[in-house]
Amino acid sequence: MSIAFPLLIALLVATPAALFISYIFIQHTLYLLAAIMLASVAIAASPADITAAAALRRFAWAALFPILWMLLQIVPLPIASLTSPIWPTAAVALNDPSLASRISIDPGSTLRSLTWYLALLSLTISTILIARDRKRAEILLLALTGAATFIALESLAGQIELLATAVPDIGRSNGHSFAVVAVIAALGNSATIAMAIERHSNRAGAVLPLSTPLLLRMALGITGIVVSLASFAALGQGLLLELTGLGFAIMLFVATVRRLGFRPWPSAILAAVLIAMATVTTLSLARSTPFVDLLGFVRSDDQASLAVARRAMSDSSWTGSGVGTFARVARIYQDYGVGSTLTAPSTAVLVAIEWGRAAMLILAGFTLQLFLFALRGAVGRGRDSFFASATAAIVVVALCDSFVDVSMLNPTAQIILAAVIGLGLAQSTGRTSSI
């Protein structure tokens, strides 16, 4: 594990450089590092590590479902009603009746998506085993928060005309694609502040006066939160401010419940308030559009992308068009003369088209399972509850954000989110956890 931990830190520290390099390079770098890290932690895993990892077997189906679904979309199927109609049409056009029918309209793209998912899964598993140690978990939280904050700062700098002109790569970047990273930065900085206060208050079991290191760490955390919120304001992402507020409320909920000693009635009242806040946020997302209309949640001015998504969703089957195939689907449904490459208006819309609505509901259910596990783990933990509470907050806010924009499709955001989930799962069980 001596190799895996430095590699993981190096990977996270290097993520802000993604603005200046191609996504292809990022993906191939992750393939290599994820394989090395997973092999390293597997070789060095102790019996205690294996026992702790076995406690997370409840997430086995959540991890396996995307693999099985993408394989189902790739392999030839004998049932014509499940496959895409593009394959029988191609068989007639090519005069090749033996052409196999599949769900995915582009099996190669779906296979590449499967490879990318396996790399992210390897990263998450490696992080779980690495972050079981408290000291490594603390360093990992600081690295994650620092990287996310720096990306939020880059996004903010891209909105300043003088800096955008001086650094063309920042000026050409789309700050909206890093929106969820700014959310991670805000909530991660809150966790670092909580960690600093917790460590200070528990030192020697006595109440100590405020020290310079504590004040410095708190100041850095507050600065990171301000940078993240400023990036939302610069991008006109007022809705993300509301979602981030929901994340802060979740972390405050955990801290309050722990302070109250998890008494039933006060906890129930706080949970009711939290659910009410989530309901209000959801209703503000939906506006006056029907709840079943995923496009009603989207905050995008790209009418061409919205039109293509609406047509594709109206024709999509419950099995989807194949993961990673939206670019090809967009070419089919876009208007004549639209030369630019269209992107999905939101992550949820893309999942509904590529994965199918049935898979989208299953994935959302697995996400809620992860949220509840981390939330329960945060309440049951002792002084290290901020790891799991930050993960619970980030997961639920990321789920809500997936209905609003496409920032979760950014490879950099996915790398950081995978590490956050691994850290949260590792620290949701421990010496004082009841899970």
How far apart (Å, rounded) are the C-alpha atoms in residues 189 and 225?
6
Following DSSP, what letter does each residue of 261-318 receive, concatenated? TS-HHHHHHHHHHHHHHHHHHHHHHHTTS-TT-GGGG-----HHHHHHHHHHHHH--T
Residues 114, 71: contact at Cβ < 8 Å? yes
pLDDT in tens, 22-40: 778 888 889 999 999 999 9
Exposure b/e, 114-131, CB count within 10 A at least 16 = b? bebbbbbbbbbbbbbbbb
Residue of higher predicted confidence among 407 and 55:
407
Q: How far is CA 46 from CA 51, 123, 128, 133, in A?
A: 9, 19, 13, 12
The pLDDT value given to residue 198? 81
Residues 319 and 103 sit within 8 Å (Cβ to Cβ): yes
pLDDT reported for residue 291? 42
What band does 343 get if pLDDT is binned at 50, 70 and 90? confident
In whole numbers, what is the pLDDT of the chain averaged over residues?
A: 81
Q: With 90 as the cut, is the pLDDT of residue 390 above it?
A: yes
Q: Pick the closest to residue 400 from 247, 251, 253, 290 (CA basis).
A: 247
Question: What are the residue boundaries of the structural domains of the chain, listed by start?
Answer: 4-426
**How confident is residue 358, by pLDDT bands cut at 50, 70 and 90?**
confident
Q: What percent of the chain has pLDDT over 90?
A: 34
Own/partner contacts of 325-334, CB < 8 Å, gap of 24 or more, are 325/104, 325/105, 325/106, 325/109, 325/110, 325/354, 326/350, 326/353, 326/354, 327/109, 328/105, 328/106, 328/109, 329/105, 329/353, 329/354, 330/305, 333/307, 333/308, 334/304, 334/308
Give 258-313 pLDDT, tens digit per residue.
777 665 455 556 666 666 666 666 555 555 444 447 777 777 777 788 888 888 88
Higher-pLDDT residue of 90 and 330 is 330
Q: What is the pTM of this model?
A: 0.87
Q: What's the confidence (pLDDT) of residue 205? A: 54
* pLDDT (tens digit per residue) in 68-99: 999 999 998 877 777 777 777 767 766 666 56
